[in-house]
Chain A
Amino acid sequence: MSGQAAQDVRTENVFMSFAVTSDSHTLDAYRARGGYEALGKALRTMQPGDVEREVTASGLRGRGGANFPVGSKWSFVNKESPVVYLCCNADEGEPGTFKDRWILEHVPHQLVEGILLAAFALHARHAFVYIRGEFDLALRRLRGALDEARAAGLVGEHILGSAFACDVVVHRGGGAYVCGEESSLINSLEGKKGYPRNKPPFPAVKGFYGAPTVVNNVETLANVPWIVARGGAAYAALGNKANPGHRLFGVSGHVNKPGLYELPTGYPMKKLIFEDCGGILGGKPLKAVIPGGSSTPVLTAGEIEALTLDAPSLQQAGSMLGSGGLIVIAEGTCMVRLLQVLTRFYRHESCGQCTPCREGTAWMDDILARVVDGRGQAADLASLQEVPEGILGNTLCALGDAAAMPVLSFMKKFRNEFEYFVANRRSLNDGRLEA
């Protein structure tokens, strides 16, 4: 099972409100916890517009990494359109992120309910779950949940005896990180390579087969039942006011207790790392944290002192909340080698459509591979600044930015290690990546 939460169960939690057992993911268990009551309430007593209003009032922002206000995204859709589609983005691929997998494996019905509520709000007759192809248990649990839901009249025609109908189709990805980008996901779902699309037009206007489409992250949708059940205002009161709610923060790397932690936004980062996660492996000092998935700028130990886990705080520190996947790095780690792990990743995942990303990701990786191999030159240091700058902001989709930012931030914060490696043909830290 995916990264287990090591924290106590709290019933007011949005996700981890129960103890995980061998059948806590089933329909019966979910219902026993109050599951599908929100859906019932919406279908009996609310209009689609009301559901959207609650979500807007909740201040919920997308949990995939872009952090865009969900109510706004839904509002861009012309509900009068003959066809509207909802796509649930379960293509979790941002390194350091493993929360959607937990949701799929442990609370798949919560996701299904969220999908149905969103589809209701959007007048979507069909919803698709684009789930990354590698997922195994997550896929089986999701399919199992949908089978149960169909059998119980929760998915399909006349849901809970109402006029609302919605079919949910599970579609497996083929192994491509870029398909987590919403327009890439749509192209992939249409049977093509996952090339992102130019925007405008945005998916909410012209998406899947040209129809208005909303693509929402798994965690985003899984928040919706709670919001509908208790009201948007109640959600807005959780956590940080500027971007409220709970998030499933994932912590990986050099901590004693890696895993998922459900926390309100605004939670102190140091507390998470040093208390909840039990501090750094081997009692070593902290060196760096990548706060929200590999695409977010790295922060030094000094920089995280007063940081809280919310968008404004991280933005002010020059980074981003991103997907909420923290990667913790202990003193003694070679940042040059670590960066090359990332440049190798982005190079592999660049779709190849636009010039700066296609050529630039390969170039950055070539440079870093050479440096790591002891064949770096002084001019490479300037290139490791110029090349990502040439990519940043110039690409067709955000993958270019995602590839450029780690290079720029690692160089900015740990320049001395790069200089050392080039000058001495070896790592300042013995090339260590393990703690």
Chain B
Amino acid sequence: MKPGPGDADASGLLEEFDRLRDVYPRQMSASLVLPLLQIVQQQKGHVTPADARLVADYAGVPPMQVVEALSWYTMLHRQPVGRHVVKVCRNIACALRGSDRLLAHVQKKLGVAPGGTTADGRVTFLAVECLASCGTAPVMQVDETYHEELDEAKVNRVLEGLR
């Protein structure tokens, strides 16, 4: 089930995988697929086909199942992303409170359209769907953190803080 210990790339991940495994009941190793992919995403910024196979072997599921899952969840990336990921909500409540304006503003500030990464690899900019913060719209998520009740000034402050 577990790949060989010689794989340098895998060993750091495997330690994290082991820590997670005990959270779930023994017979539910298949449920580890998404959490393991999230660990890879967290550590490496994206998930490669080799990572997918590692996860499949560890979780004891067919590799195709992991490839499918990897391609299907919005938060998993198969291509490298920037050091920071800026996700601006474009859904209805935020749209009613100016998200179009802010999306254009972020695009101008970063110099990339939604979906793109700045040339220096600093920021990936994404337009996303509802983040469940409608009462404090417009909202964006930068890496883990929600930034709410945004205006251009606040957006500027947040973006400038990203190294």
When the two chains form their complex, are residues A98 and B133 in contact, meaning their CB atoms are under 8 A apart? yes
Does B57 lie at the interface of the complex (its beta carbon under 8 Å from any beta carbon of A)?
A: no
Q: Which stretch, B3-11, B66-74, B154-162, touches the partner chain A? A: B66-74
When the two chains form their complex, are residues A172 and B132 in contact, meaning their CB atoms are under 8 A apart? no
CB-contact partner of B129 in A97, A325, A333, A349, under 8 A = A349
Q: Which stretch, A69-77, A129-137, A264-272, touches the partner chain B? A: A129-137
Does A348 lie at the interface of the complex (its beta carbon under 8 Å from any beta carbon of B)?
A: yes
Report A-chain residues with C-beta under 8 Å of the C-beta of B25: 126, 167
Given contacts A191-B59, A338-B92, contact A93 B33 (CB under 8 A): no
Report B-chain residues with C-beta under 8 Å of the C-beta of A174: 34, 37-38, 69, 72-76
Does A205 lie at the interface of the complex (its beta carbon under 8 Å from any beta carbon of B)?
A: no
CB-contact partner of B130 in A94, A167, A333, under 8 A = A94
When the two chains form their complex, are residues B73 and A191 in contact, meaning their CB atoms are under 8 A apart? no
| Interface residues on chain A, size class | 35 or more
Report B-chain residues with C-beta under 8 Å of the C-beta of A262: none
Among B73, B129, B148, max chain A CB count under 10 A is at B129
- Expressed in whole angstroms, the minimum distance between the Cβ of B41 and any Cβ of chain A is 9
Report B-chain residues with C-beta under 8 Å of the C-beta of A4: 135
In the bound complex, how far is the Cα of B75 from the Cα of A146, in angstroms? 25
For chain B, residues 82 to 117, give those with C-beta under 8 angstroms from any C-beta of chain A: 87, 90-93, 95-98, 100-101
Report B-chain residues with C-beta under 8 Å of the C-beta of A259: 135-136
In the bound complex, how far is the Cα of B25 from the Cα of A325, in angstroms? 36
Report A-chain residues with C-beta under 8 Å of the C-beta of B93: 95-96, 252-253, 258, 327
Does A175 lie at the interface of the complex (its beta carbon under 8 Å from any beta carbon of B)?
A: yes
Q: Quick one: CB contact mask for A282-310 with B, threshold 8 Å, 1 for yes?
A: 00000000100010000000000000000
When the two chains form their complex, are residues A93 and B132 in contact, meaning their CB atoms are under 8 A apart? yes
Does B1 lie at the interface of the complex (its beta carbon under 8 Å from any beta carbon of A)?
A: no
Does A86 lie at the interface of the complex (its beta carbon under 8 Å from any beta carbon of B)?
A: no
When the two chains form their complex, are residues A327 and B132 in contact, meaning their CB atoms are under 8 A apart? no
Report B-chain residues with C-beta under 8 Å of the C-beta of A190: 30-31
Among A191, A260, A338, max chain B CB count under 10 A is at A191
- Expressed in whole angstroms, the minimum distance between the Cβ of A172 and any Cβ of chain B is 6
Report B-chain residues with C-beta under 8 Å of the C-beta of A250: 134-135
For chain B, residues 105 to 150, give those with C-beta under 8 angstroms from any C-beta of chain A: 129-137, 141, 144-146, 148
When the two chains form their complex, are residues A2 and B135 in contact, meaning their CB atoms are under 8 A apart? yes
- Expressed in whole angstroms, the minimum distance between the Cβ of B118 and any Cβ of chain A is 22
- Expressed in whole angstroms, the minimum distance between the Cβ of B98 and any Cβ of chain A is 5
Given contacts A174-B73, A176-B73, A345-B130, contact A329 B96 (CB under 8 A): yes
- Expressed in whole angstroms, the minimum distance between the Cβ of A369 and any Cβ of chain B is 13
Does B80 lie at the interface of the complex (its beta carbon under 8 Å from any beta carbon of A)?
A: no
Q: Quick one: CB contact mask for B13-33 with A, threshold 8 Å, 1 for yes?
A: 000000000011101101111
Does B12 lie at the interface of the complex (its beta carbon under 8 Å from any beta carbon of A)?
A: no
When the two chains form their complex, are residues A433 and B95 in contact, meaning their CB atoms are under 8 A apart? yes
When the two chains form their complex, are residues B74 and A341 in contact, meaning their CB atoms are under 8 A apart? no
- Expressed in whole angstroms, the minimum distance between the Cβ of B5 and any Cβ of chain A is 24
When the two chains form their complex, are residues A192 and B135 in contact, meaning their CB atoms are under 8 A apart? no
When the two chains form their complex, are residues A252 and B96 in contact, meaning their CB atoms are under 8 A apart? yes
Does A342 lie at the interface of the complex (its beta carbon under 8 Å from any beta carbon of B)?
A: yes
Given contacts A192-B65, A194-B72, contact A95 B133 (CB under 8 A): no
Report B-chain residues with C-beta under 8 Å of the C-beta of A95: 91-93, 129-130, 134
CB-contact partner of A253 in B27, B96, B133, B141, under 8 A = B96
- Expressed in whole angstroms, the minimum distance between the Cβ of A157 and any Cβ of chain B is 14
Given contacts A191-B31, A191-B69, A209-B28, contact A342 B135 (CB under 8 A): no
Report A-chain residues with C-beta under 8 Å of the C-beta of B95: 338, 341, 433
In the bound complex, how far is the Cα of B129 from the Cα of A132, in angstroms? 13
Report B-chain residues with C-beta under 8 Å of the C-beta of A40: none
When the two chains form their complex, are residues B134 and A96 in contact, meaning their CB atoms are under 8 A apart? yes
When the two chains form their complex, are residues B69 and A100 in contact, meaning their CB atoms are under 8 A apart? no
When the two chains form their complex, are residues B69 and A193 in contact, meaning their CB atoms are under 8 A apart? yes
Q: Give me 16 other A-B pairs in contact (C-beta within 8 A), A171-B31, A341-B95, A351-B72 excluded.
A: A94-B130, A95-B93, A95-B130, A98-B134, A173-B34, A173-B75, A175-B75, A176-B72, A176-B74, A190-B30, A192-B68, A193-B72, A252-B96, A258-B134, A260-B135, A344-B90
- Which B positions have Cβ atoms within 8 angstroms of A? 23-25, 27-28, 30-35, 37-38, 59, 61, 65, 68-69, 72-76, 87, 90-93, 95-98, 100-101, 129-137, 141, 144-146, 148
- Which A positions have Cβ atoms within 8 angstroms of B? 2-4, 92-98, 100-101, 126, 132-137, 167, 169, 171-177, 188-194, 209, 250-254, 258-260, 290, 294, 325, 327, 329, 333, 338, 341-342, 344-345, 348-349, 351, 433-435
